C-alpha cells in the first residue's frame, strides 16, 4: 500500500467540522495538528477525510506494538466478553497476579518486588511518591531541571520542563529540589563533556546534599533515563551511574521514570537498562497496554505499605488493561521489538545525521533506539533554539502525511511504532528531509 497517501491538504471538510466542534466543547490541552483520526493499523493512520498518514508519534509513545495489533485486540475482546471490572484493589483475580509476576520478571532487579497498578504515567509517579515517603518516613525529593513526570499536583511538583506547566498552579507539593540534568548539548554549567568530569553529578552531592538539602530528609530522587518532554536528552553513561551511587551513599531511593522510554522503545525493555542500574522504584505506563490506559509502580517488596488503605484506587489492575498488557509483552517478545527498535533506530539516526550535514538548522540529533529527536537552532555556532522551523516541520509534515510531535523548546521527536515497515519509515524520513530543507530556506 502506498503511504502516506494524501487526497487533499488536511483537515478536509469533515475534519474541519470536527475541529470546530472540539474547540467549543473540549477543555484546552496540548493540541499539535488538526488531524482527526478515524482508524489506524500498524504505523498507518486514516483521517475522517480519507487521507492516509505514516505515524511517527505512536499516540505519544504508547502504541509501541503498532495501532490495533491483532494479538492485543483479541486479548481485549476476549477479556471484555469474560469480565471487565471487579475492582482488583479490593478483590482478587488471576490475571492481575499473573501480569504482576511477569512484570517482576522483566523489570531490572533480582529481588522480591511488589506491583501497584495505575491508570496513567502521572498516577504511577504519584504512587512512587507515596511508596517512597511511606517506606522511608522522609518527605523531601530531588528531581531534575528539564524533567517531565506528569501534571497531577504531586507529579507536577517534580516536573520542570516548561513554564506553562507550572504557571498559576503554585503551591505544588513542598520539599522538591531541582538539580541540573546532564544536557551536554547545552551544559547548564557551561562545561564540555568529557573534560567536565561529570560535574553535574558531583554537584548534587557538593552543592545540594552537603549544603542545604539534608540527605536524611530526602525520600527519593526521580530520574528519567532519557528526558522526554524536556527534549529527548540522553545523558552520557557516567551520569546515571554516578547519580545512582550518590543515592546509595546517602540512603535516597532511586526512582526510575520509564513511562516514556519503557516497553522496548529505546532498544531495551526499559530505558534504565542502558545504564545497568537497578532502581528501587520503577514507574511505567504509556507503552504498557498498547493504547489501553494502564500503568504501574514496581518496587522492592521491602518498601511496601503493608497497611490496608494507605494507598489504593478503583481501576488499578483493570482486567482489560491487564490482558492488553500481557498481550503487549507477548508481542514485544515474539516479534523481537526491542531488537527491532535498536535496528530501525540506528537506521533512522544515520539518515538524520546525513541530513544534519546539509541542514545547519539541525543543531543536534539524539536519542536511543526508536526514541529519536532533532533540536532545531538558528545557527549551529550560537545554538539559539529555533522554534519557528521546528513548528514548520511539524505542521508541513502533517500536511504531507507524516505525523510528528514537538519536544523541548525547539525539538521534534520521531517515535514510530516499533514494528513500522522499513518502507514506511523511509517514506516518512524522505518527506521530513524535504521539509527540513524547506524550513532552512524559509528561515534564511
Ligand atoms: C517520563 C514521563 N513521566 C510521566 C508522564 C505522565 O504520563 P501521563 O500523561 O500518562 O500522566 C509522561 C508523559 O508524557 C512522561 O513522559
Residue 24 lies in a domain: yes
pLDDT of residue 442: 85
Are 106 and 215 contained in the same domain?
yes
Distance 35 CA to ligand 1 centre (A): 22
Q: Which atom of ligand 1 is nearest to the CA of 261?
A: 1
Q: Which atom of ligand 1 is nearest to the CA of 125?
A: 4
Are 99 and 238 contained in the same domain?
yes
Are 232 and 345 contained in the same domain?
no
Instruction: State the cell numbers at 301.
Output: 517488596
Residue 364 lies in a domain: yes
Contact 261, 225 (CB under 8 A): yes
Q: Does the pLDDT of residue 277 top 70, yes or no?
A: yes
Q: Which atom of ligand 1 is nearest to the CA of 295?
A: 10
- Number of domains composing the chain: 2
Distance 161 CA to ligand 1 centre (A): 12
Averaged pLDDT for residues 190-208: 98
Are 110 and 26 contained in the same domain?
no
Distance 123 CA to ligand 1 centre (A): 9
Higher pLDDT, 113 or 442: 113
Residue 254 lies in a domain: yes
Residue 6 lies in a domain: no
Q: Does the pLDDT of residue 108 top 90, yes or no?
A: yes
Distance 134 CA to ligand 1 centre (A): 23
Distance 146 CA to ligand 1 centre (A): 13
pLDDT band at 443 (very low <50, low <70, confident <90, very high): confident
pLDDT digits (tens, 9 = 90+) for 306-346: 999 999 999 999 999 999 999 999 999 999 999 999 999 99
Domain boundary among 334, 359, 386: 334
Are 321 and 355 contained in the same domain?
no
pLDDT digits (tens, 9 = 90+) for 140-168: 999 999 999 999 999 999 999 999 999 99
Q: Probe ligand 1: pick from 63, 121, 162, max atoms within 8 Å of CB?
A: 121
Averaged pLDDT for residues 186-214: 98
Task: Read off the CATH number of the domain in which 261 is found.
Answer: 3.40.640.10
Ligand 1 pocket by C-beta < 6 Å: which residues?
Answer: 120-122, 125, 148-150, 224, 228-229, 257, 259-260, 285
For 131, the domain range is 70-334
Distance 224 CA to ligand 1 centre (A): 10
pLDDT digits (tens, 9 = 90+) for 84-94: 999 999 999 99
Q: Probe ligand 1: pick from 30, 62, 122, 144, max atoms within 8 Å of CB?
A: 122
Instruction: State the cell numbers at 374.
Output: 532533532
Q: Which atom of ligand 1 is nearest to the CA of 122?
A: 11
Contact 401, 54 (CB under 8 A): yes
Averaged pLDDT for residues 38-63: 98
Domain boundary among 306, 334, 362: 334
Distance 59 CA to ligand 1 centre (A): 12
Q: Is 142 helix (H, G, I), strand (E, B) or coil?
A: strand
Residue 379 lies in a domain: yes
Task: Read off the CATH number of the domain in which 387 is found.
Answer: 3.90.1150.10
Residue 7 lies in a domain: no
Are 60 and 76 contained in the same domain?
no
Distance 160 CA to ligand 1 centre (A): 13
The order of strands in the sheet holding 37-41 is: 37-41, 44-47, 52-55, 402-403
- If you take atom 7 of ligand 1, which residue's CA is the nearest one? 121
Are 295 and 389 contained in the same domain?
no
Are 29 and 170 contained in the same domain?
no
Q: Probe ligand 1: pick from 123, 162, 259, max atoms within 8 Å of CB?
A: 259
Averaged pLDDT for residues 367-388: 97
Distance 287 CA to ligand 1 centre (A): 11
Residue 166 lies in a domain: yes
Are 240 and 316 contained in the same domain?
yes
Residues 6+ apart with CB under 8 A from 422: 344, 347
185 burial level (CB within 10 Å; 0-12, 13-18, 19+): middle
Distance 115 CA to ligand 1 centre (A): 18
Domain boundary among 334, 358, 382: 334
Name the one residue in this structure whose C-alpha cell is 503551591.
171
pLDDT of residue 426: 98
Q: Does the pLDDT of residue 444 top 70, yes or no?
A: no
Residue 1 lies in a domain: no
Are 130 and 35 contained in the same domain?
no
Are 155 and 247 contained in the same domain?
yes
Q: Probe ligand 1: pick from 260, 282, 287, 321, max atoms within 8 Å of CB?
A: 260
Are 151 and 289 contained in the same domain?
yes
Dihedrals phi, psi of 391, to nearest 5 degrees: -65, -35
pLDDT digits (tens, 9 = 90+) for 380-431: 999 999 999 999 999 999 999 999 999 999 999 999 999 999 999 999 999 9
State the CB neighbour count (10 A cutoff) for residue 154: 21
Q: Which atom of ligand 1 is nearest to the CA of 60?
A: 14
Amino acid at each position: 500500500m502506498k503511504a502516506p497517501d494524501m487526497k487533499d491538504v488536511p483537515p478536509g471538510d469533515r475534519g474541519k467540522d470536527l475541529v470546530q466542534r472540539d474547540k467549543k466543547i473540549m477543555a484546552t490541552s496540548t493540541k499539535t495538528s488538526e488531524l482527526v483520526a478515524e482508524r489506524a493499523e500498524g504505523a498507518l493512520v486514516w483521517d475522517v477525510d480519507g487521507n492516509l498518514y505514516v505515524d511517527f508519534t505512536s499516540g505519544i509513545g504508547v502504541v509501541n506494538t503498532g495501532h490495533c495489533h491483532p494479538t492485543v485486540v483479541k486479548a481485549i475482546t476476549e477479556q471484555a466478553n469474560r469480565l471487565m471490572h471487579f475492582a482488583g484493589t479490593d478483590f482478587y483475580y488471576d490475571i492481575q497476579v499473573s501480569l504482576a509476576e511477569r512484570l517482576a520478571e522483566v523489570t531490572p532487579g533480582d529481588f522480591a518486588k511488589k506491583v501497584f497498578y495505575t491508570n496513567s504515567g502521572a498516577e504511577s509517579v504519584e504512587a512512587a511518591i507515596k511508596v517512597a515517603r511511606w517506606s522511608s518516613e522522609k518527605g523531601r525529593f530531588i528531581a531534575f531541571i528539564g524533567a517531565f513526570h506528569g501534571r497531577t499536583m504531586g507529579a507536577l511538583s517534580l516536573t520542570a520542563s516548561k513554564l506553562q506547566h507550572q504557571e498559576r498552579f503554585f503551591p505544588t507539593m513542598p520539599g522538591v529540589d531541582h538539580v541540573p540534568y546532564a544536557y551536554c548539548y547545552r551544559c547548564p554549567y557551561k562545561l564540555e563533556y568529557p573534560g567536565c568530569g561529570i560535574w553535574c553529578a558531583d554537584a548534587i552531592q557538593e552543592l545540594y546534599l552537603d549544603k542545604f538539602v539534608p540527605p536524611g530528609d530526602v525520600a527519593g530522587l526521580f530520574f528519567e533515563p532519557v528526558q522526554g518532554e524536556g527534549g529527548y536528552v540522553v545523558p552520557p553513561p557516567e551520569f546515571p551511574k554516578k547519580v545512582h551511587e550518590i543515592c546509595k551513599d546517602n540512603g535516597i531511593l532511586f526512582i526510575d521514570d520509564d513511562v516514556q522510554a519503557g516497553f522496548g522503545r529505546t532498544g531495551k525493555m526499559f530505558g534504565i537498562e542502558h545504564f545497568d542500574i537497578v532502581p528501587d522504584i520503577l514507574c511505567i505506563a504509556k507503552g504498557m497496554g498498547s493504547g489501553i490506559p494502564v500503568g504501574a509502580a514496581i518496587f522492592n517488596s521491602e518498601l511496601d505499605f503493608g497497611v490496608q488503605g494507605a494507598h489504593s484506587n478503583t481501576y488499578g489492575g483493570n482486567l482489560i488493561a491487564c490482558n492488553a498488557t500481557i498481550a503487549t509483552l507477548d508481542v514485544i517478545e515474539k516479534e523481537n521489538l526491542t531488537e527491532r527498535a535498536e535496528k530501525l533506530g540506528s537506521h533512522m539516526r544515520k539518515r538524520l545525521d546525513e541530513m544534519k550535514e546539509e541542514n545547519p538548522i539541525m543543531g543536534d540529533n539524539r536519542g536511543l533506539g526508536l526514541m529519536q529527536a532533532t533540536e532545531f537552532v538558528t545557527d549551529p555556532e550560537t545554538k539559539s533554539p529555533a522554534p519557528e522551523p521546528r513548528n514548520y516541520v511539524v505542521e508541513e509534515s502533517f500536511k504531507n502525511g507524516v505525523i510528528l510531535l514537538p519536544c523541548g523548546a525547539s525539538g521534534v521527536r520521531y517515535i514510530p511504532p516499533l514494528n513500522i515497515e522499513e518502507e514506511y519509515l523511509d517514506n516518512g524520513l524522505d518527506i521530513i528531509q524535504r521539509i527540513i530543507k524547506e524550513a532552512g530556506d524559509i528561515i534564511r
